[in-house]
Structure 1
């Protein structure tokens, strides 16, 4: 089961490896993400049953499988409306797109697992940034980790709670994996800087999708969160420096993957490989776009090399 954290009279967090937000209004609930699997969703449904919830809507912060894994079960059980941005909805409704874009072709056996391939569900409502009066939340763009990831800022009468999805990763994740998944390094760095602004913007709690909840009414917890933002930025900078130092001669993306994996003691299986591959493509793209590296085509292959 979950650890249930009550942050406000009508807001709960179902804490697990993937945190799920619950906004309550009478016998109705709005879920922020649905966890990693149908089993995860069944545990959510048990908690909702204990709360006498009869109607359930879902907001998906983004389309990664560990955030939409419970969509199909819950939509079938509750006839749920699902809210998502237009771009992320394409992946939610067609989950094969996730492993397909990671690999660049239809997925092979080894990346067709629950970590990358959720069951499809139907997005009933496309949402835009800004205030959503029907859901009584603000939709905040948080790009970088996914193509169009959003955060959810509540408009509750007693507390303002900001669910920030995967815009920040825990110190445990940094220690274990070092290089965490990104699609756009520049946007991610901007998102991290934006998170610092919310600390001074009358927000009571910040809830990441993974890890601990931060009570910004506590100076100690606020300081821990700000330190975590800096840790996230520092690991990005360290990864960029590791790559640029390695590009003293032309390197293929697989060369870069092998080097970074060795540098940070990462053991790779098929899933880990495609995640790291796409992440390091994003890093190399950042170096190219910011004029630290160039792309060359020699020996019939694409290579990156540091600009002199």
Structure 2
């Protein structure tokens, strides 16, 4: 666990596979996301050596909120998140349930998809006065999740999972995205935001000029998946389309990944339907065909 100061008040915490950002204030440290679980949160706490006054989240996925329980218990930290994600952080069983489409089975209810919940969470809007006073701008970068939020501090833009590195795309082959259309629109926003550096969680910090090439790689991934799934809309269900993708990309599947990919496929089908290219029908399951 390592802290890198970006200036006198804003810093990055390198957790290995991920970044968390932090801001020194008169009241204590403000964290932008925490970590996967309490054990990692304890390591963050050890290197910080200051009270965590507040936590502002990019989104509610377990690897971003899992450390909240530790900080709220120790410091009574205030926790803020976009209202579209509020229920998921208070009732963390909802995340695997969303992916599965009902009450989730045991294999997908572990800490990687369902963090320890905290009750003292408020809507992001209620914390914006504090952010304004500390010179932090907020951006809606939804797509990877329903209400993903980016934070701009002193020309450093922390986008969480609104942007993925080429290394992550190469490793996982199929990115989990709740709403690929909204993700595409958020990529356009990132390009237009005036900043010096862009920081993304999994993982990197690049100059604004360099981020253009990474955004282009993300565009290409989206377009490739969009076209691939469109070609598979010949009477298959979303689950059958996922199975075709597993084979095409030689993905080593597990019971958690199955749901991530199924959910992503349904997000692309939503986009394709909005574009008027496909429509669903029922025949021993909800199937998709080209219009």
- Following the alignment from structure 2 to structure 1, what is the Cα–Cα distance between the partners of residues 51 and 286? 55
Shift of 1:139: 1.4
Q: Does 1:306 align with 2:286?
A: no
Maintained 8 Å contact 2:81/2:123: yes
Q: How does 1:72-221 map to 2 (within 5 A)?
A: 72-128=69-125, 132-154=131-153, 159-198=154-193, 201=194, 203-216=195-208
Shift of 1:193: 1.2
- Following the alignment from structure 2 to structure 1, what is the Cα–Cα distance between the partners of residues 247 and 188? 30
Equivalent residue for 1:259?
A: 244
Maintained 8 Å contact 1:82/1:122: no
Shift of 1:124: 3.8
Structure 2 length-normalised TM:
0.94
Equivalent residue for 2:3?
A: 4
Shift of 1:244: 1.3
Q: Does 1:297 align with 2:282?
A: yes
1:235-267 deviations in whole A, cap 9, x for unaligned? 1111111111222x2111111001111111111
Secondary structure at the counterpart of residue 294 of structure 1: strand
- Following the alignment from structure 2 to structure 1, what is the Cα–Cα distance between the partners of residues 111 and 183? 25
Secondary structure at the counterpart of residue 196 of structure 1: helix
Structure 1 length-normalised TM:
0.89
Secondary structure at the counterpart of residue 87 of structure 1: coil
**Structure 1 residue runs of 4 or more that deviate by more than 4 Å after TM superposition:** none
Secondary structure at the counterpart of residue 24 of structure 1: strand
Maintained 8 Å contact 2:150/2:157: yes
Secondary structure at the counterpart of residue 213 of structure 1: strand
Shift of 1:4: 1.9
Equivalent residue for 1:29?
A: 29
Structure 2 alignment gaps of length 5 or more: none
